[in-house]
Structure 1
Amino acid sequence: METVILRKDALKKIRQFSKTKYENEEKEVIGFLIGFFREEEIEITDIIIPEQTGDRTYVEVEEEVSLVNALIKSNKKGTNEVCVGYFHSHPGYRAFLSAIDIETQVYWQKVNPRNIALVYDPIHSEVKAFRVEEVEDAFREITVSIKIEN
C-alpha cells in the first residue's frame, strides 16, 4: 500500500483555511491537492483553493478552471506538479468519508486510480487520507497511511 507524504506547509494551509472558514462562517471547505506520484508514495506539496459554495455539512467546487490554471503556471516553473486528489473538511465530525464523499472519490479514482481524498477536522485537529474499493456492488473507504514531513 502506498504512503502519502504530506508536506508541513501544505498541511498548514489546509489547517488555516479550514479553521478560518469554520470560525468565521461555520462552513466546510474543499480544495485540490498538488504534488507528485512516486513509485510507492504520493507527495502532497501544496493546495489550490477554488471558488466554492457550501454550508456546515456540504461543500462543492463552483468551477475547476482554477485547478487547470494553477497547474499550467506550476508547469511553466518546471516543477511538473500534478493534482493528486482533493481535500475537504468535516468540522467536528472527525475524519471519515461520508456516502457522498465515497461517490466523489469513486469519480476521482476513475480519473486516476492513485488519486486520494484527504479529510481534515479542524475541531479535533484530525487528518486522514482515503481511497475507496469496490466490495460486492458497493464501495467502502480504505485508510491510506500519512507521513507528515518538512
Structure 2
Amino acid sequence: MALAWRVGLVLCVLLVADCAGGPSSTATMTDGTPTTILTTAPIPTDNSTPTNETPTTGDPAYGTEFVSVSKLENGSRAETWPDNKTARFENLSEPRKEVFRDALDGRVTFGPDEENPFAFSDSDRPELVRYEGEWYFVRVAIV
C-alpha cells in the first residue's frame, strides 16, 4: 500500500511540475520509478525586475469617500428598513439629488477636503432612496 501511495504522490508532483511549465530534471526513485522534479522557477522574459510595491499614483487619499447607487432587486426589502433611513428622491436636498443622479451613472468620489452630501459619518443620511418608482441602495465607502 505504501508503494501505491508513493506512486500517487509522484504522479501529483509530475502533474504540478508539468502545469508550472518551468525547467525540470528527471530523477529516478529507489524503486526504479522515474519522476520529474521542478528545479527552478520560470525566468521572466521581459527583463524586468519583479517588485512587491504597488503604485501609489492614483490611489485615493485617506478620507476619500465613494458614493454608489444600486437598484434593490427585491423592492419589498425596503419595507424592513427603518423610516429614518429611507427617502423619496423628490424630498432630497438639491446636492443629494445631484450626487444621486451622478451615482446612477457610476461611482462618485469626494476627496478628503470636499463635502459629501451623503457623508459616511452622517447618521441621518438615507440608505434607501425611492426614485422613479424603484428603490435604490445608496452605499458610501471611505478610505
* TM-score category (smaller protein): under 0.3
TM-score by length of 2: 0.22
TM-score by length of 1: 0.21
Task: Pick the structure with greater CA Rg.
Answer: 2
